Amino acid sequence: MRVLALCLGNICRSPVAEALLRRELAAAGVEAVVDSAGTGDWHVGRPADPRSIDVARRHGLRLNGKARQLLRRDFADYDVILAMDSQNAAEARALAGTPGAASRVRLMRDFDPIAPGADVPDPYMGGKAGFESMFEMLERSAKEFARQAAAPEAEAQADRI
């Protein structure tokens, strides 16, 4: 399975989602390649926001990647693109080029058992509490995504994820 986490700048939400998805899919025994990207290009080549690095570190995760922008070829390279909010999902679908490619885009919180389909609010302009709240939402969603991906029928029903 190949999974891409997507947010606006690829410095706050999607790097944390990438690390959580990697951890949870591995724990569930799902062989996966996980990466992240942003719909915007402002932060390309930069590391994750220090507040995202900090919240991830406090939960035992490391964020070592550099920001990159979503590319049309990502739709061929990834089975699913998990957008952090509806705006980024819409921008990704517009870039996709075909309905089939656009159908690979889902919201990360489609897998949140507490608030399915909700946006992951961007914590960029806020403080530490917003980053912790973001982490909790992403962790719940990543755990459920991994659980569904590992389900025995998941291979036969890969399109549902």
Q: Is the dihedral of CA 74, 139, 84, 17 positive or negative?
A: negative
The answer to whether residues 115 and 39 touch, using CB atoms and an 8 Å cutoff, is: no
Specify whether 7 is catalytic: yes
Question: Can 54 be counted among the known catalytic residues?
Answer: no
Q: Of all helices (H) and strands (E), which one includes residue 4?
A: strand 2-7
Spot the catalytic one: 7, 22, 104, 109: 7
Edge-first strand listing for the sheet containing 105-107: 33-38, 2-7, 80-83, 105-107
- Among the options 35, 74, 119, 122, which is catalytic? 122
Nearest to 86 by CA among 116, 120, 52: 120
Q: Among the options 13, 68, 106, 109, which is catalytic?
A: 13
Residues designated as active site: 7, 13, 122
